[in-house]
Amino acid sequence: MEPVNIIGVGMTKFGILDDSILELAKNAVFEAMEDSSTIGAQFDHLFVGTQNPDEFVSRGHLSTVLVDVLGLVPAGATRVETGPSSGSSAFEAAFTVVAAGMADLVLVIGVEKMSEVDRGTASRILAKMMSFENESRYGATPTALAAMIARRYMHDYGLTRDELSLVPVKAHRNGAKNPLAHFQKEITIEQVNTARTVADPLTLYDCCPTSDGASAVVVASDRAVKEHGLADRAIRVLGIGHGTDYLAVQHRLSLTSMNATVVAAEKAFKMARVGPQDIDVCEVHDAFSILELVNMEDIGLVNRGEAIKAVREGLTEVSGSMPVNTTGGIKARGHPTGATGVAQIRDIVMQLRSEAPKGLQVDVPNIGLTHNIGGFGNNIVVGIFQRR
């Protein structure tokens, strides 16, 4: 396998935005191109991670459209879709083509524009992630499944409502300092506890928003890094892993662990030849507050049932020994589904380059990790990155 690097990143603000899906993608890409001193004509391939532009914005064939709009013709162009982990899977495809020695410079875009449809339509589109036969047709929603996990976690490990609220409170505290976050205001434990219940015990503040946004990264072989004179700035991709689980939550072995995370993390750690103890900063998929705890345990950052202790003791804060979701995570940064995985990678690259926003920079991190869930825990990608 050829070594793989990231030499440029770009990202739009996440939120409810006026820009079209093509404008969002362009804005993220042009920033990544400027960041890496690259132009469209130099790229060998484009990978676009997007969940469902056909139904969210009535736009199809996004890789084919974007390769033209961005000036990459005649480079190969491929859309990759794994639900809300589409961005990470697009990155995985780019990693693979460079690792195989088939390309030197590859562009990855994650993009989603979710606000053009009404809330009911958005829910219907997102419900396709779940098992129709076992879940949707009984009225289950992603939040309802997350609530079941929270209940079980509370039962097994004694988690309290106040403790769980610490997770979104931290997310919002970080998001308030992130100029690209969807939500940029702090919240209190009491606000979380007393907000409208979405699915008991989860309230509005336990749930991520649906957002618009795009992110882009430029993936390069060592030869391309040298050619562009970016050896000092390049971030090494140490490992990547992809795992799946049974579609229906009821078919899985556990409610309080996602085996797809365990598998993806094991693969990524094996390829990277590092372990959970080596991770200095990470972005994990906190679409619901309870998932941040479950993810930390599945990745191996803490032992089973001990994630909340780490949160309570402040270890997951920016200044802690195990900073998690320093950008606000999916909860506060927002969740334009296809864009999220690429945004996580962009944010970890910024951390490793010590270019995170003021107040969010971890003290000279060496190795970072991203963790992105597609579907309700059934299609998961983990990436590991290192300052070179």
Which positions touch a copy of itself (CB under 8 A)? 1, 45, 52, 54-55, 58-61, 63-65, 67-68, 72-83, 89, 92-93, 96-97, 99-102, 125, 128-129, 241-247, 251, 259-260, 263-264, 374-375, 378-379, 381
Q: Which is nearer to a copy of itself, 259 or 316 (CB)?
A: 259
Beta-ladder partners of 212: 15, 113
- Nearest approach, Cβ of residue 107 and a copy of itself (Å): 13
Q: Which is nearer to a copy of itself, 125 or 216 (CB)?
A: 125
Least CB distance to a copy of itself at residue 379 (A): 5
What is the Cα–Cα distance from 13 to 33, expressed in whole angstroms? 17
CA separation for the pair 77, 46 (Å, rounded): 5
What is the closest distance, in whole angstroms, from the C-beta atom of residue 2 to a copy of itself in the complex? 8
| Whole-angstrom distance, CA of residue 222 vs CA of residue 3 | 6
Query: What distance separates the 2 farthest-apart alpha carbons in the chain?
Result: 57
- Give me the least distance between CB of 76 and a copy of itself, in Å please: 3
Least distance in Å: CB of 77 to a copy of itself? 5
CB nearer to a copy of itself: pick between 128 and 273: 128
Between residues 52 and 165, which has the closer beta carbon with respect to a copy of itself? 52
**What's the half-sphere exposure (Cβ side, CA atoms, 13 Å) at 301?**
29
Nearest to a copy of itself of 92, 206 (CB atom): 92
Q: Where are the alpha helices (DSSP H) in 158-302?
A: 161-175, 189-194, 222-227, 259-272, 289-299
In the complex, the smallest distance separating the C-beta of residue 117 from a copy of itself, rounded to whole angstroms, is 13
| Contact (CB, 8 A) for 138 and 148 | no
Nearer CB in complex with a copy of itself: 84/175: 84
Q: Half-sphere exposure of 10 toward its Cβ, with a 13 Å CA cutoff?
A: 24
Nearest by Cα to 360 from 185, 186, 173, 213: 173
